[in-house]
Amino acid sequence: MDQSRLEFLVTCIDIAVYKTITGSIQRIHGAVNYTSTTATAKAYIVRRKIDGIFLDMALEGAPELVQCIRRGSSNRHAVIFACAAPGEDAGKLLSSGVNFVLYKPLLADAVNEALNTSASMMEAERKRYLRHQLMVPVVIRRRENEQKAITSNISRGGMAVRCNDTYEPGSPVQFAFELPMGEVRGRGEVAWSSNEGFMGIKFYLLGDPEKKSLSNWLDQREAERR
């Protein structure tokens, strides 16, 4: 995937809706992915990081899919565009977790405006999630257990590590590792783990000095990419 492009998932069976959305996404040079059911959308979202999701609320399971996305991990902050029937309660949809309500028949101008308005939200989330390769020793503690591991990549929101013992998703951990900008210590939560000895750790508590060290290092890496 081209990391410079915003990536969208369109879930609908209405050809006119699909064509209008696709045209607007292509206008901003975004990547379009498509599913026709909420079940296939759910499976896709589990596997991939998505910036924006267009969802036809007429599909079976659409409200449940919104809740699934918001309760998930890597896509919980994705921007959700609800494609609703005329007269459908926008307030109810917004309170359920969607970010924008677009009424059918969709107008290209309305979709374009929603994309323009949401661009800063998507870019901020992408910056938080964008991972940089980094291999440094890291100490991970869980209760009385302590082990040494190696980071494989890191972002503003978390890191992936290779270790001897993996923990169940949801397990609270403490961690410490060194960056050129200074030491980073904090608390986190295991987001995922694999049988190959990898874990994803989500940061949820960093002190101000640690945030500064991490932010400075990531800013430098991102500047090098440009």
DSSP per-residue codes, the chain: --TTS-EEEEE-S-HHHHHHHHHHHHHTT-EEEEESSHHHHHHHHHHS--SEEEEETTSTTHHHHHHHHHHSSTTTT-EEEEEE-TT--HHHHHHHT-SEEEESSP-HHHHHHHHHHHHHHHHHHHHHH--EE---EEEEEETTEEEEEEEEEE-SSEEEEE-SS---TT-EEEEEEEETTEEEEEEEEEEEE-TTSEEEEEEEEE-HHHHHHHHHHHHHHHHHH-
Backbone angles phi, psi at 63, to 5 degrees: -60, -40
pLDDT value of position 101: 97
Per-residue pLDDT at 129: 64
Q: What is the mean pLDDT of each run of 10 residues along the chain (226 residues)?
A: 74 96 94 95 85 96 95 84 96 96 96 93 74 88 92 88 91 92 90 86 88 85 68
Q: What are phi and psi of 141, to 5 degrees?
A: -120, 135
pLDDT at 110: 96
Nearest to 114 by CA among 193, 21, 46: 21
The predicted model scores a pTM of 0.64
> Helices 38-47 & 62-71, crossing angle to 10 degrees?
10
Q: Which of 35, 45, 39, 43 is nearest to 13 (CA)?
A: 35
The pLDDT of residue 4: 60
Give me the pLDDT at residue 225, please. Answer: 61
Q: Token pair for residue 164?
A: 């001897």
Q: What is the pLDDT of residue 2?
A: 42
